[in-house]
Structure 1
C-alpha cells in the first residue's frame, strides 16, 4: 500500500492535472494582476508608454541683428506708418459732407454685449434714413422702416474692389508698447468722430480708458434717442464721458433734434416759454454731469457750454 501511494507515475495517471487560466472578476488598481506567478501559457506583458518629447520654447529674445529698429526711425516716417495702419475715414458721403470727412460709428451687439463698429461707407439713402432716425429699423415691404439703398451690379473685379475698399478699424498697433501708443493714439482719437446715435456713443465711451478719453477733440451725434425704452441713453452716454474724463473736447456737435417742443402751454398761459429756452433746459438736463466735469477741469463753470455747436 505504501509503495502504491508513493509511486509518482501511478498518481499522475489517476489524478491528471491540467493548466487552467485563473479567472478574476475584478480588476486591480494598477490594471494588472497582483499575482506575479501565473500558470497561463500566454502572459500579458504591459507596454510602457513612450514619453512624448516636447521641444521647449526658447524664451531668449531675438538677437539684435534680427530686431527692426522701428523707434529709431525719424518721427515723420513713423507718423506716415501710423497713418497707413490706422483706419481710413468713412467714404461715399453726400456732397455736403464730403469736405467734412470723419470716422462714423454705429452700434452693434455680439454675444449679448453692446459695442460699436466702424461704417466703412455710407450711402445717401442710409444717411437720409439716419437723419430721420430710421437707420436701425429693418426694411419692410409696406414702406416703413429703413429704406434699402440701390445696389447696382458693377463690372469691377474683386482685386480692384479690395484696393478701393478703405481700411477697417484696426488698433493692434496701439497695443505694441506704450511709446507707440503715446505717438499713434492722438492721431486716431483727435479725428472727427461721428456717432449714429447716443447708443453708439455710450458703447464707445464705455470701452475708453481715461488716457484715451482725454485725447478726444471732436464728437458729433446724429440721432438723439428719445424712445420710451431708451430715453435715458443720452444721459448715460454723457455721464460716461464725464466719468472717463473726456474734458478736453473742443467741439461737441449735436446734429439732430433732441425732442419736440412747443412755445405754448395748454394748461396755463402763464407757463408759456419760448422754444430756445426749452431746448437749453433739455440739453442741460441730459448733459449737466459732463458740463460740470469740464467746468471743474478748466476752472470755468461755462467752459463746457462753449463747446456746443
Structure 2
C-alpha cells in the first residue's frame, strides 16, 4: 500500500466520522420525591357524629366543673389562654402577688381547649354557648367585668355563674354601675357570688362596718341590675335569690377559697365589724330588700 493511498483512506475515514450522526440517548426522568403526592386521606367526619356525642366532646373540651375562669382587664388582644404554672391552672399569679398589678387574662385549666372553637363556623355556633354556660367566671374586679361583658355582648345571655372578687383602684363608681347594667343581659344567670374582697372594697363611707352599710353600698352600685331582675322575674326576692356569699352557693367551684386572700369558706367573720354577727347575711338581704321599695 502506497503512502498516497493511505492518506486518501485516512481522509475518507475522517469524512465518514464527521457525517455520521451519533445516536442520542434519552435521559430517564428523575422522580422528585419531594413533590410526590401523598395518598389522599379522608378527614374524620366529626360533624356527622350524633349530636349527643358532639355535645359530650364539647363539654369535655370547654367546661371545667372544678375551677372557675379568672377574668382580668384587656391588656392584650387575646383574653383566652391556658394557665402555665399551677396544676389547677386557674391562675398564673398567686394571691400574694395579685396587688402588684400583674395581669390575669383567661387563665384556664390545662384540660380546656378553647382553640376547638376555631375549627369551623358550625363548631363555633354549636359549642360556644357551652363555654359560657358551663363555666364559673371569676371577675377580679368590676373593671374587668365591664370590659368583658362589653366585648362578648352576644354571649352574655349564656352566662350562669359569676363571682366578683374585688373592687380595685381602677374601678370608679360609674364603671361598677356600667358593669351591673351590662349584667342585666345575663337572662339565664343563676348565681352572683359576692366574694370577701368585693364586700370589703365596696366604695363609699365606712364600707364594711356592718351588714347594713355593706347592703347600702352594694345597692348604690348594683341597683340597675337588681331592679331589672325584679321586674323580669316578678318580685324583689327573685333578685335577692341570685345573690350568694362565699361558701353558700351549692354548686360553687373550688377556685374561690384557693384564690382569695381571705379564706372564703370561713364566712363573713373575716370582714371587720361583722366578726360578732353570725346573722350578717340575713341582715344584708333584709336591708337590701327594704332599699328596693
Shorter-chain TM-score category? 0.5 to 0.7
- Number of residue equivalences: 189
Aligned to 1:308: 243
Please tell me whether the aligned partners of residues 261 and 279 of structure 1 are also in contact (alpha carbons under 8 angstroms). Answer: no
Q: Quote how far apart the aligned CAs of 1:206 are.
A: 0.4
Aligned to 2:176: 234
Please tell me whether the aligned partners of residues 69 and 136 of structure 2 are also in contact (alpha carbons under 8 angstroms). Answer: yes
**Does the residue aligned with 2:71 lie in a helix, a strand or coil?**
strand
Matched, 1:176 2:144: no
Aligned to 2:150: 206
Q: Quote how far apart the aligned CAs of 1:124 are.
A: 9.2
- TM-score norm. by structure 2 comes to 0.53
Task: Kindly provide the CA deviation profile for residues 16-36 of structure 1, in whole angstroms up to 9, marking residues without a partner as x.
Answer: xxxxxxxxxxxxxxxxxxxxx
Distance in 2 between residues matched to 1:228 and 1:183, nearest whole Å = 36
Distance in 2 between residues matched to 1:286 and 1:184, nearest whole Å = 34
Please tell me whether the aligned partners of residues 177 and 222 of structure 2 are also in contact (alpha carbons under 8 angstroms). Answer: yes
Question: Aligned match of 1:278 in 213, 217, 223?
Answer: 213
Distance in 2 between residues matched to 1:68 and 1:119, nearest whole Å = 26
Distance in 2 between residues matched to 1:119 and 1:223, nearest whole Å = 22
CA pair 220-135 structure 1, distance change in 2 beyond 3 A: farther
Aligned to 1:247: 187
CA pair 135-203 structure 1, distance change in 2 beyond 3 A: farther
Aligned to 2:94: 126
Distance in 1 between residues matched to 2:212 and 2:152, nearest whole Å = 33
Q: Quote how far apart the aligned CAs of 1:176 are.
A: 0.9
Pick 1 or 2: higher relative contact order, CA cutoff 8 A, min separation 6: 2
Please tell me whether the aligned partners of residues 261 and 275 of structure 1 are also in contact (alpha carbons under 8 angstroms). Answer: no
Matched, 1:76 2:44: no
Q: Quote how far apart the aligned CAs of 1:169 are.
A: 3.9
**Does the residue aligned with 2:145 lie in a helix, a strand or coil?**
helix
Matched, 1:108 2:48: no
Aligned to 2:160: 217
Task: Tell me the C-alpha RMSD between the 2 structures.
Answer: 3.6
Structure 1: segments with no counterpart, 5+ residues: 1-64, 90-98, 139-163, 264-272
Q: Quote how far apart the aligned CAs of 1:72 are.
A: 3.2
Please tell me whether the aligned partners of residues 226 and 239 of structure 2 are also in contact (alpha carbons under 8 angstroms). Answer: yes
Q: Quote how far apart the aligned CAs of 1:102 are.
A: 1.5
Give the alignment of 1:1-309 within 5 angstroms: 69-83=45-59, 85-86=61-62, 89=64, 100-110=66-76, 116-118=79-81, 120=83, 121-122=89-90, 126-130=94-98, 134-136=99-101, 165-167=110-112, 169-170=114-115, 172-173=117-118, 176-177=121-122, 180-181=123-124, 183-190=126-133, 191-210=135-154, 212-225=155-168, 227=169, 230-242=172-184, 245-255=185-195, 256=197, 257-259=200-202, 262=206, 275-309=210-244
Please tell me whether the aligned partners of residues 67 and 90 of structure 2 are also in contact (alpha carbons under 8 angstroms). Answer: no
Aligned to 2:21: none
Distance in 2 between residues matched to 1:100 and 1:110, nearest whole Å = 26
Structure 2: segments with no counterpart, 5+ residues: 1-40, 84-88, 104-108, 245-293
Please tell me whether the aligned partners of residues 106 and 200 of structure 1 are also in contact (alpha carbons under 8 angstroms). Answer: yes
Distance in 2 between residues matched to 1:308 and 1:247, nearest whole Å = 14
Please tell me whether the aligned partners of residues 85 and 170 of structure 1 are also in contact (alpha carbons under 8 angstroms). Answer: no
- TM-score norm. by structure 1 comes to 0.51
